[in-house]
């Protein structure tokens, strides 16, 4: 029998490699722990509820804080996408909770409302629900996830650690330099801090498939309306206002009309605000190709609650004919 002696050099190399792996793993864990600790300390989304903090983003972990506000005093609830994120106390004329963090999918809105207790429901003075072009598509289940409990919140933070670190760094930079074009109010709405308009550099933002309609989500709109009516809560469904250039270049108008007809079929009426003369044809009213800026928001809400723009089964076609900008 032949015995093969282990080469001392191989053993030393293997030991060095194992030591390197252990040190590298320890380094990764240390960096991750440091990153998590910093995000807790900086609190980029205001999860800990400081009303006077500087926040630059709204995320699902802040939803609990909005529930706390609602438990204390009455508010108008605003649901929708980024195109409703600037709906605030100033334009509505009442205290607002802007629930962009819930987002605008009917499934998410229904879950939030259904989870409110009687005290909070009593404090809902009204609902403004912005029906965007893509909110009737079947939602991504992960996108409507709300982290609950310490484990759920930790898991959410770990799964989104890159975003937490990025937004924490952005918050520190804004605090140090005093420079930020906007911030998020403690009650969720976006506040413009610097005056700006659209440069008209075209940055396409819509995919045609985002205008598809999921019948299940459409049916949920009717459920949300019944939920509000059964509890005596006024609810206003509205559409976002877009610039003529976007309607000309980026929107499938036939799909848009089908969506609007489906909305009327489900909830009988809504406020049609997609194309508003004096706003849609003025680039200074927009921050980009699909979002009103503060000036545009004030101009739009100067006519709130837009009783002359209520679309129903009798007049919907007239409103839909107005969607075509001149020159298209």
Summarize pLDDT for 226-272 with one digit per residue, the tens.
Answer: 999 999 999 999 999 999 988 888 888 999 999 999 999 999 999 99
CB 275 within 8 A of CB 242: yes
CATH architecture for segment(s) 53-141+180-321: 3-Layer(aba) Sandwich (3.40)
Q: How far apart are the first and last CA of the chain?
A: 91
In this model, does residue 13 exceed pLDDT 70?
no
State both tokens at 164.
Answer: 């937490």
pLDDT level of residue 291 (50, 70, 90 thresholds): very high
Peptide bond into 305 cis (omega under 30): yes
Find the range with the poorest average confidence among 17-31, 32-46, 95-109, 197-211: 197-211
So where are the chain's domains?
Answer: 53-141+180-321
Q: Rounded distance, CA 321 to CA 261, Å?
A: 12
31-42 burial, b at 16+ Cβ within 10 Å, e below that, comes to eeeebbeebeeb
CB 66 within 8 A of CB 188: yes
In this model, does residue 31 exceed pLDDT 80?
no
Question: Among 165, 155, 72, which Cα is nearest to 120's?
Answer: 72
Q: Rounded distance, CA 136 to CA 239, Å?
A: 12
In this model, does residue 172 exceed pLDDT 60?
yes
Q: What is the arithmetic mean of pLDDT over 86-105?
A: 94
- Residue, of 327 and 254, whose pLDDT is higher: 254
* Alpha carbon distances (Å) from 117 to 71, 112, 144, 203, 208: 9, 11, 20, 43, 39
In this model, does residue 202 exceed pLDDT 60?
no
Check residue 39 and give its pLDDT: 83
State both tokens at 291.
Answer: 């979002």
pLDDT level of residue 305 (50, 70, 90 thresholds): very high
Q: Rounded distance, CA 309 to CA 241, Å?
A: 12
pLDDT tens per residue, range 40-65:
888 888 776 566 677 888 888 888 88
Check residue 139 and give its pLDDT: 77
What's the whole-model pTM score?
A: 0.86
Query: What percentage of the chain carries pLDDT values higher than 70?
Result: 83
Q: Which residues pair with 182 in a beta bridge?
A: 192
Check residue 303 and give its pLDDT: 95
DSSP string, 149-201: HHHHHHHHHHHTHHHHHHHHHHHHHHHHH---SEEE-TTS-EEE-S-------
- Residue, of 312 and 42, whose pLDDT is higher: 312
């Amino acid at each position: 029998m032949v015995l093969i002696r282990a080469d001392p050099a191989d053993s030393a190399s293997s030991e060095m490699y194992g030591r390197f792996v252990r040190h590298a793993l320890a380094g990764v864990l240390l960096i991750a722990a440091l990153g998590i600790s910093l995000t807790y300390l900086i609190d980029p989304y205001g999860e800990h509820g400081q009303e006077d903090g500087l926040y630059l983003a709204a995320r699902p972990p802040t939803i609990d804080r909005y529930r706390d506000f609602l438990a204390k005093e009455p508010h108008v609830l605003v649901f929708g996408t980024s195109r409703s994120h600037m709906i605030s106390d100033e334009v509505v004329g009442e205290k607002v909770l802007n629930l962009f963090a819930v987002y605008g999918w009917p499934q998410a809105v229904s879950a939030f409302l259904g989870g409110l207790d009687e005290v909070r429901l009593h404090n809902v003075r009204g609902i403004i629900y912005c029906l965007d072009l893509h909110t009737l598509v079947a939602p991504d289940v992960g996108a409507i996830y709300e982290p609950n409990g310490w484990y759920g919140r930790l898991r959410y933070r770990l799964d989104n650690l890159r975003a937490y670190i990025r937004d924490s760094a952005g918050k520190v930079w804004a605090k140090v330099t005093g420079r930020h074009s906007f911030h998020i109010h403690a009650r969720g709405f976006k506040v413009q801090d610097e005056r700006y308009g659209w440069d008209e550099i075209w940055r396409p933002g819509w995919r045609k498939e985002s205008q598809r309609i999921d019948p299940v989500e459409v049916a949920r709109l009717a459920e949300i309306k019944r939920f509000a009516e059964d509890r005596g809560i006024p609810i206003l469904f509205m559409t976002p206002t877009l610039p003529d250039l976007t309607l000309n270049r980026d929107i499938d108008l036939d799909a848009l009309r089908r969506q609007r007809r489906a909305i009327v079929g489900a909830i009988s009426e809504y406020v049609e605000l997609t194309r508003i003369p004096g706003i849609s044809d003025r680039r200074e009213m927009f921050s980009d190709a699909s979002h009103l800026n503060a000036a545009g928001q004030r101009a739009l809400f100067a006519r709130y609650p837009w009783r002359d723009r209520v679309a129903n089964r009798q007049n919907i076609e007239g409103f839909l004919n107005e969607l075509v900008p001149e020159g298209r």
